[in-house]
């Protein structure tokens, strides 16, 4: 009954649903405290108190017709202006409300961008490993996603493999830093080299290549890691932002796009994005939460909590004999599977009540992703189970050598 194109999407999403079901099944059998679910990127640090205060005062102070009404498709002018001003202060830019489109999270924003830009058959390039939903976002508009193989030494974009994938059909490139699933923050040096390469290729193929910077984790960084403002490096950059992680509001579906004047065809793109948000059926981003985020531009979640988790899990896994690059942002660890088949490793982990996601979901087999947006206590309780799992793997290897 369903569309052919949907069949593949349903098949992919059933893997995630199966993991969710497995968590519930194990919790019922062994007790929730004995199941270690590292599979979901759902923030466990609550939204800052400022969010609740903003909601209450908006409901108290503002005209309900205004709070809950339709507005311009791209969002309230005053909210967009406040966001533009805040970006201008942080990044020495000169955006206005015209450069901002409020979106239904980062996912909604990317769908607006691809609806706006893609003709059927246009190619979009992503660097592995990447957030698996990009396949659907590009496929929704009959674009073709081309994958740059990973640089597993650094997990920075693999630029030497990149240029060879650009063709006449290349319309856009996606970057995501801090990255899901690796937690790696792309260096300014790499991003400059990427920009130079894109500029050279634009000349060669004779049309713009848009860089889509998907930034839901921009605020989640540790130590002195610095997240570059990519539009300052490459003029044809569109930024997609989200408050899902930075304010722990994933269910509220709120974010924005930055469409700078420096984009080739900026006026046309901005007005098309305004139409795209409506005809995709979002109409506009959630009204109350537009007003909330405008009052919370300087609020942040407790990044220290994630940092403590990062240290404990990284050190604990290392002690158990697993290896991974130490993340500088987001809330994920991307761990090298100790056996070649990482899906089998996930199955073995399940028996120790450890729920992990296979790297093939991120176009990077041989690795597994752990989301550490979980309670600190759960991480501490899980570590002996990783040690047991690794003992089992060492035992299996020993017996197969005999």
- As measured in angstroms, the least distance from the Cβ of 47 to ligand PLP is 14
User: What residues pair up with 324 in beta bridges, in sequence order?
Assistant: 335
Piece of 60-68, 103-111, 204-212, 291-299 that binds ligand PLP (CB under 6 A):
103-111
Which residue, 23 or 255, has its beta carbon nearer to ligand PLP?
255
Between residue 130 and residue 149, which ones bind ligand PLP under the rule CB under 6 A? 131
- As measured in angstroms, the least distance from the Cβ of 332 to ligand PLP is 9
User: What are the structure tokens assigned to 141, written together?
Assistant: 């508009």
Q: Which of 37, 97, 202, 214 binds ligand PLP (CB under 6 A)?
A: 214
**Residue 189 vs residues 185, 227, 369: alpha-carbon distances, Å:** 11, 12, 26
Between residue 305 and residue 334, which ones bind ligand PLP under the rule CB under 6 A? none
Could you say which DSSP state residue 263 is in?
A: S
C-alpha–C-alpha distance, residues 22 and 355, integer Å: 8
241: exposed, middle or buried (C-beta count within 10 Å: 0-12, 13-18, 19+)? buried
| Interstrand relation of 255-258 and 237-242 (parallel, antiparallel or unpaired) | antiparallel
User: Does 116 participate in binding ligand PLP (rule CB under 6 A)?
Assistant: no
User: Does 128 participate in binding ligand PLP (rule CB under 6 A)?
Assistant: no
User: Does 41 participate in binding ligand PLP (rule CB under 6 A)?
Assistant: yes
Piece of 43-51, 83-91, 100-108, 229-237 that binds ligand PLP (CB under 6 A):
100-108
User: Does 237 participate in binding ligand PLP (rule CB under 6 A)?
Assistant: no
Which residue, 244 or 382, has its beta carbon nearer to ligand PLP?
244
- Residue 360: Cβ within 10 Å count: 18
Torsion of CA 339, 334, 45, 243, to 10 degrees: -140
C-alpha–C-alpha distance, residues 57 and 142, integer Å: 44
Q: Which of 43, 105, 129, 231 binds ligand PLP (CB under 6 A)?
A: 105
CA 320 to chain centre: 28
- As measured in angstroms, the least distance from the Cβ of 40 to ligand PLP is 9
On the CB side of 385, CA atoms within 13 Å amount to 21
Query: CB nearest ligand PLP: which residue?
Result: 105
C-alpha–C-alpha distance, residues 73 and 290, integer Å: 12
Which residue, 206 or 251, has its beta carbon nearer to ligand PLP?
251
- As measured in angstroms, the least distance from the Cβ of 402 to ligand PLP is 44
Backbone angles phi, psi at 172, to 5 degrees: -155, 160
User: Does 277 participate in binding ligand PLP (rule CB under 6 A)?
Assistant: no
| Interstrand relation of 323-324 and 367-371 (parallel, antiparallel or unpaired) | unpaired
Q: Which of 116, 156, 237, 242 binds ligand PLP (CB under 6 A)?
A: 242
297 and 43 Cβ atoms separated by less than 8 Å: no
Which residue, 103 or 190, has its beta carbon nearer to ligand PLP?
103
User: Does 290 participate in binding ligand PLP (rule CB under 6 A)?
Assistant: no
**Region at 31 (left for phi over 0; alpha for psi -120 to 50; beta for the rest):** left
Between residue 171 and residue 200, which ones bind ligand PLP under the rule CB under 6 A? 176, 180
240 and 113 Cβ atoms separated by less than 8 Å: yes
- As measured in angstroms, the least distance from the Cβ of 357 to ligand PLP is 12
C-alpha–C-alpha distance, residues 304 and 307, integer Å: 5
C-alpha–C-alpha distance, residues 132 and 359, integer Å: 10
Residues that bind ligand PLP (rule: CB under 6 A) add up to a total of 13
Which residue, 174 or 324, has its beta carbon nearer to ligand PLP?
174
C-alpha–C-alpha distance, residues 98 and 152, integer Å: 40
Which residue, 23 or 129, has its beta carbon nearer to ligand PLP?
129
H/E element holding 377?
helix 376-401
User: Does 107 participate in binding ligand PLP (rule CB under 6 A)?
Assistant: yes
- As measured in angstroms, the least distance from the Cβ of 394 to ligand PLP is 33
Which residue, 245 or 353, has its beta carbon nearer to ligand PLP?
245
User: Does 250 participate in binding ligand PLP (rule CB under 6 A)?
Assistant: yes
Q: Is 262 helix (H, G, I), strand (E, B) or coil?
A: coil
Piece of 72-80, 87-95, 104-112, 273-281 that binds ligand PLP (CB under 6 A):
104-112
For binding to ligand PLP (CB under 6 A), which residues are involved? Answer: 41, 105-107, 131, 176, 180, 214, 216, 242, 244, 250, 255
């Amino acid at each position: 009954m369903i569309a052919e194109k949907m069949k593949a999407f349903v098949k992919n999403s059933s893997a995630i649903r199966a993991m969710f079901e497995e968590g519930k099944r194990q919790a019922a059998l062994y007790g929730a405290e004995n199941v270690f679910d590292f599979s979901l990127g759902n923030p466990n640090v609550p939204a800052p108190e400022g969010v609740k205060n903003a909601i209450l005062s908006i409901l108290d102070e503002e005209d309900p017709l205004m709070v809950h009404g339709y507005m311009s498709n791209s969002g309230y002018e005053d909210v967009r202006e406040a966001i533009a001003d805040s970006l201008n202060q942080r990044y020495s830019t000169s955006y206005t409300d015209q450069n901002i489109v409020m979106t239904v999270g980062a996912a909604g924003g990317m769908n607006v961008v691809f609806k706006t830009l893609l003709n059927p058959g246009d190619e979009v390039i992503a660097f592995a490993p990447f957030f698996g939903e990009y396949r659907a976002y590009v496929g929704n508009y009959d674009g073709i996603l081309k994958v740059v193989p990973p640089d597993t030494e650094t997990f920075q974009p693999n630029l030497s493999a990149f240029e060879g994938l650009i063709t006449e059909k290349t319309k856009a490139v996606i970057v995501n830093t801090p990255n899901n699933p690796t937690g790696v923050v792309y260096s300014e040096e790499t991003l400059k080299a990427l920009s130079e390469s894109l500029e050279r290729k634009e000349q060669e193929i004779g049309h713009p290549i848009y860089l889509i910077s998907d930034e839901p984790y921009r605020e989640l960084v540790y130590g002195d890691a610095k997240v570059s403002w990519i539009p300052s490096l490459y003029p044809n950059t569109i930024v997609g932002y989200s408050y899902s992680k930075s304010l722990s509001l994933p269910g509220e579906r709120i974010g924005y796009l930055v469409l700078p004047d420096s984009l080739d065809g900026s006026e046309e793109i901005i007005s098309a994005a305004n139409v795209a948000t409506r005809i995709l059926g979002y109409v506009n981003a959630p009204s109350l939460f537009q007003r909330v985020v405008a009052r919370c531009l300087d609020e942040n979640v407790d990044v220290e909590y994630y940092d403590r988790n990062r240290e404990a899990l990284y050190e604990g896994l290392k002690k158990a004999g697993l290896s991974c690059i130490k993340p500088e942002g987001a809330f994920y660890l991307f761990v090298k599977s100790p056996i070649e088949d990482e899906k089998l490793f996930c199955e073995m982990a399940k028996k120790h009540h450890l729920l992990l996601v296979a790297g093939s979901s991120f176009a990077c087999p041989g690795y597994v992703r752990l989301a550490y947006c979980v309670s600190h206590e759960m991480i501490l309780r899980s570590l002996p189970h990783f040690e047991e799992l690794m003992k089992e793997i060492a035992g299996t290897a020993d017996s197969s050598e005999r």
